[in-house]
Each structure stands twice: as structure tokens, then as C-alpha cells.
Chains A and B, each alone.
Chain A
Amino acid sequence: MTAVRPHGRIDAPIKKKEVKLAKRTKRLSRSTGGTVALFLFLAAFGVFTSMPIVLTISRAFMPLDELFLFPPRFFVRNPTATNFSDLFIIMQESWVPFSRYFLNSVIITGFGTLGHLVFASMAAYPLAKNDFPYKKQIFATVVLALMFGAHVTGIPNFLIISALGINNTYLAVILPAFSAPLGLYLMKQFMEQIPDSLIESARLDGASEFFIWRKIIMPNVKPAWLTLIILQFQALWATTGGVFLRSEELKPLSFAMNQIALGGVARAGANAAVIFIMMAVPVTFFIFSQSKIIETMATSGMKD
């Protein structure tokens, strides 16, 4: 638990008259029928969402003969790790070594995530806590950026990155990632709940804004760090680099994995192992950081 608790949404209490609209009975009844229906719905959708994931796990450990059985099998019967060793062999045979793809992914996700965290939280602090001209307009453009995807900006971005001379380098993927709008938005909302008194006392001592950000703000927003990290990590982990990384020796793991996954029947086993690996990393990450992420999301709301 951090020093600061989320303040919740009590700043927007509902009006008494709305509550009064309902008739007067003391106890809140929860009909059994309603409960059963809701839980059945939940269970059904839960099965639906987890099916492809269970299938991914199941197929990753399926021996080849089970993968090609008719009728097709959902659950693995004789689990084996051969798919992973097959994948390893394919990876060793590729002319860019597997370790290189892995290193590329580590560089891209590592620097992209770290830079985003630092830049976004540095910008979030003044937006959350200080008052200065054009603050509203600046934040409004960030909110606006949440409303359109990267697809809108794809072509001009390619031109800009080419003009900067960083096309086909790691920077072409890393630099734009630094300024992802969602991270700044979430960080700023989370920082707003830090009590002003903490900052005021440091300011009276003559601390610089950078010092306050570094020593007072950042230690108090650790749950938001994790949230920015996982959101950015997951986005960069999945990126293939596309038109921005053309050289084979710069491509990330997800690109190599996609190639194998598209390899078709001949590589069905390795293919299943690949999808499993690509899924396991972000999901594991989420399992361990879930409570912190939810804590951050408590302040994610858009105020008028």
C-alpha cells in the first residue's frame, strides 16, 4: 500500500432526489432468479473468453499426431514438450539467430517502456498539480489523441521518421512510443490525488520542480508506474516493427514468431508453442501486477 489512497468517486455524490424516486422498503432484495441468471451469463462468457487461451495451452503441449487427429481434439491427452524443442530447432536454423530477435525485443520494449514512463510522468506532474497558462488546452489535446488510433497517423509518421533519418533503426519504434497518450492520461489522473500539502512544504524549502517530481511525486505513484509499464510493454511486445524496421537483424521476436505462426501445417507444432510463448509473457506480467493496475484505474475517469 502506498502513502496515498485513491480518493474514490465521492467527489460526485448523487443527488438525494434521485434516490427518493424509488418506493420505500427497507431491505434491498436480491432475487435468486436474477442472481442465477447473472452468474450463468458470466460463466458462459467466461468459457467463451478462456476457450482460445485454454486451446493455446493445450495445443502447445500436444504431440503432432494429436494435432492432426479427426475429430479434432480440444484438450491434450499425452502432453509433451517436443513442440518447444522443434521451435528451438527452427529458430537455430534461421539465418538471423533467435537470440538476435530476442535481443531486439528486449531493447525495443525495455527502452520504449522506460522512456515512456519517465517522459509521461514528468509531463503528468505539472498537468496534475500546477496551474499555468494553456494547461487545459494541452491536456485536452492528449485526451483528443486518445480518440484516434495510430492508424490515422501511420503514413505521416513514416515520412517524419524518414526525414529525421531514423527510419530502420530502433529509434523509429522507440521514440514515438515515448509519447503514447494513454500513459500520460492515466498518470496525470492518478497524480491528482496526491495531497498538495506534500508539495507545498517542499516548495517552501526551495526545492525545484524537478526535485519535487523526482523525490516526492514519483515515490507516491508506484501503482501507476506498473500500469504504464504493463500497458506499454504489452503494446511494444506485440509490435512487429512493420515499415519502420525493414532490416531482418532489427526485427523483434514478435515478427519472427508471426512468420513461424504463419508457417502452416508443416510447422503446426512449433506454431502452437510460439503462440503460447507470446501469450505467456504479458499475461504473467499482468497476474503479478493486477492489484496495482486496478488501483491506478480507480482514478482513470474523465471529469468534465
Chain B
Amino acid sequence: MTHKESTWSLMKKNRQSYGLMAPYFILFFMFTILPVMIAIVLSFTNFNMLQAPRFVGWANYTRLLLENEIFIIALQNTLIFAVVTGPLSFILCFIFAWIINDMPPKVRAFMTLVFYAPSISGNVFFMWQVFFSGDRMGLVNGFLINLGILDDPINFFRDARFIMPILIIVQLWMSLGVGFLAFIAGLQTVDKALYEAGAVDGIRNRWQELWYITLPSMKPQLLFAAVMQITTSFAIADVVTTLAGMPTVNYAGDTIVTHLQDIGWIRFEMGYASAVATILFLLMVGTNKGVQRMLRKVGT
């Protein structure tokens, strides 16, 4: 470009580009951007779907953080999920993709299916109900009773001590999703010449190879997968309500999202629920941004 054109004339020149983007972005604005704005605005009102919303200032937030013990429990549970399943699933995604990568293509395809299937198979997580069913018919109870380790079955989903650990297991089980596929693909595209150069330069074992060559070459995939894993681990809800009920016993497994659904869809306190949604939004985006900053440092 020889001279600087004004933004407006550049935009006019590219009107076809904007035209192509318009259908998607009109909907994207309507169903993704606008809702976030509305949630933030509503979080300062007492909207209940019947009367017009009335401005209440920070009341919803103070009520949530100071008076609502369930929210604090839900927040804690969500953070536990995020801190445990987020990083763990991220690391598992990588390790498995990395091990599978050396295998012959057919075996690799099969193993990919084995690990990826849980995340796309819809309601198969119902099956964990069969494993941890509270009566003697549950596989775990049946097994332990049969061995004589237990006399009476444990009511796993009604016992506050077991709810979180089991939910974490189930969540990890279904967490090898898109991020896992990104790693598999990324590993296959790492330039082989780098490994050869590395061997010449004195890379001694596969761990050094991993740290000095593979990880730095895969930084873009690391960033992408991190976003996928973090966003999923903050949004845990369906697994909780399906397996442990709503609400869970002593709220032992409730998360921000289940609490949000409770306030919004059962009690219709939309302003209050919007405050929960806004906090969830800030938590998710904040964590994602923080982790992105951290991961950018890999290999530098």
C-alpha cells in the first residue's frame, strides 16, 4: 500500500468481505455478545420476568457473596473442579496424544477413538450410575460386597464424602475432547528434521526431546487446548444434576452453573441469577487469559 487510506474508504473497499461475514456475525452478536451485555446489566436489577427490572445496585452481588452460603459452596466446588480436572485433563490429553503418536496409524486411530469417544457419546455418563449405584446392584458395591470388603452397599451419590471424588472421576473420563484431537494433530505436524537436528545437538532421551523440541513446537496447540479444557471444567453441570441430583446432598457437588440454573430456571430470580452468570463469565475469561499468559512462556 503506497499511501495511507482512511479507515472508511478501506471499509468501503472491503464491503464484500463484510458482506460475507454479516450473516454469521449478526447471529453471533445476537446470541453471544448481546447476552453477555444483558447479563451484566440485569445483574444490577431485581428482574423476575413478570415485572419490569428495577435497578438495585450491587445488592445481588452482596447478597451472593455475603448471605448466600450455597453460592460459596458452589463456588468452592467449581474451583475444585477447575483446579483438579482442568490441569489434569490438559496434561492427560497431552500425555496420551504423545504416547499414541509413536504408534502405527491403525493403532493410533483406534486409541484415539477409545480416548475421544466418551466426550462425544452423549449420555453414556449415565453408565457411571450403574458403577456407583447405591444398592447391591451397583458394580462397585456388588464387587466389594462379593469380595467381603463391604457388608452394606455405600450410597455413593447420597453421601457427601463421595460425591465430589466420583464427579471428578466422571468429568476426567469425558474430558479428552477437542483439545486431545488438537494435540494428536499437532504432534504429527512437528517437523521431523527438528528431532534429527536435536539428536545431533545432543538430546539424550525422550524427556529432553519433549521439553526442548516437541513442547515449544506445539505452543499454538497448547494454547488452544488449554482454552477448551478450562472452559469445559468451569461449566460442569449436566454430569452433576444427572448423577447426583439437583440440588446434591448438602450441596456437596453443586457448582456455579447448577446454582445458576436453580436460581434462574426454578426460582425465576433472573437479576440474581445474572449476577451469578456475570461472576462465572469473569472467572472463566480471567482464568483463560491468565493461563494463556503462562503458557506463552513455555520453551522461552
Contact = CB atoms under 8 A, between A and B. Distances in A.
Given A146-B231, A238-B123, A282-B120, A184 B24 contact: yes
Contacts of A154: 260-261, 264, 277
Contact of A18 (B24, B36, B95, B299): B299
A148 B281 contact: yes
Given A152-B39, A155-B270, A155-B273, A279 B121 contact: yes
B42 A283 contact: no
Interface string A266-304: 000000000100110011001100110111111011111
Interface string B276-294: 0100110011001100100
Given A9-B190, A26-B200, A261-B123, A145 B206 contact: no
B203 to A, nearest CB: 5
Nearest to B29: A179
Interface stretch (A83-91, A94-102, A117-125): A117-125
A25 B21 contact: no
A152 B115 contact: no
Interface residues of B, number: 121
Those 7 A-B pairs whose CB atoms lie nearest each other, nearest first: A301-B220, A156-B35, A297-B185, A8-B189, A126-B17, A153-B35, A123-B24
B104 interface: no
A28 B203 contact: yes
A18 B209 CA distance: 11
B257 interface: yes
B198 interface: yes
Interface of B: 7, 10-11, 13-14, 16-21, 23-25, 27-28, 30-36, 38-39, 42, 92, 95-96, 99-100, 109, 111-118, 120-128, 130-131, 136-139, 142-143, 145-146, 173, 176, 178, 181-182, 184-186, 188-191, 194-195, 197-206, 208-209, 212-213, 216-221, 223-224, 227-228, 230-232, 234-235, 237, 257, 260-261, 264-265, 270, 273-274, 277, 280-281, 284-285, 288-289, 292, 296, 299
A55 B142 CA distance: 15
Interface of A: 6, 8-10, 12-14, 16, 18-31, 34, 38-39, 41-42, 45-46, 48-53, 55-56, 59, 68, 70-72, 74, 119-120, 122-123, 125-127, 130-133, 138, 141-157, 159-160, 175-176, 178-179, 181-182, 184, 208-210, 213, 230-231, 234, 237-238, 243, 254, 257-258, 261, 275, 278-279, 282-283, 286-287, 290-291, 293-298, 300-304
Most buried by B among A16, A45, A210, A230: A45
A21 B118 CA distance: 40
B181 A294 contact: yes
Contacts of A303: 220
B11 A23 contact: no
A14 B212 contact: yes
Contacts of B194: 13-14
Contact of B124 (A13, A29, A237, A279): A279
A247 B149 CA distance: 49
Classify the interface of chain A: helix, strand, loop or mixed.
helix
Contacts of A28: 195, 198-199, 203-206, 209
Contacts of A295: 185
14 contacts: A9-B220, A19-B213, A28-B209, A49-B176, A71-B145, A123-B23, A132-B14, A138-B21, A147-B231, A148-B281, A154-B260, A234-B120, A290-B109, A297-B184
B115 A46 contact: yes
Contacts of A8: 189-191
B276 to A, nearest CB: 10
Contact of A132 (B17, B181, B284): B17
A243 B95 CA distance: 39
Contacts of A131: 14
Nearest to A146: B227
A175 B31 contact: yes
A230 to B, nearest CB: 8
Given A41-B95, A238-B122, A238-B123, 16 more contacts: A9-B220, A14-B299, A46-B115, A49-B117, A70-B142, A133-B14, A143-B227, A145-B32, A152-B284, A157-B35, A175-B31, A181-B28, A254-B123, A294-B181, A297-B184, A300-B220
A179 B34 CA distance: 13
A53 B118 contact: yes
A46 B188 contact: no
B234 A290 contact: no
B123 A257 contact: yes
Contacts of A14: 194, 212-213, 216-217, 299
B11 to A, nearest CB: 5
Nearest to B216: A14
B284 to A, nearest CB: 4
Nearest to B296: A304
Contact of B284 (A147, A210, A279): A147
B185 A300 contact: yes
Given A155-B270, A294-B185, A70 B122 contact: no
Nearest to B191: A10
A82 B99 CA distance: 41
A42 B137 CA distance: 29
Nearest to B180: A297
A9 B206 CA distance: 20
Contacts of A278: 121-124
Nearest to A142: B28
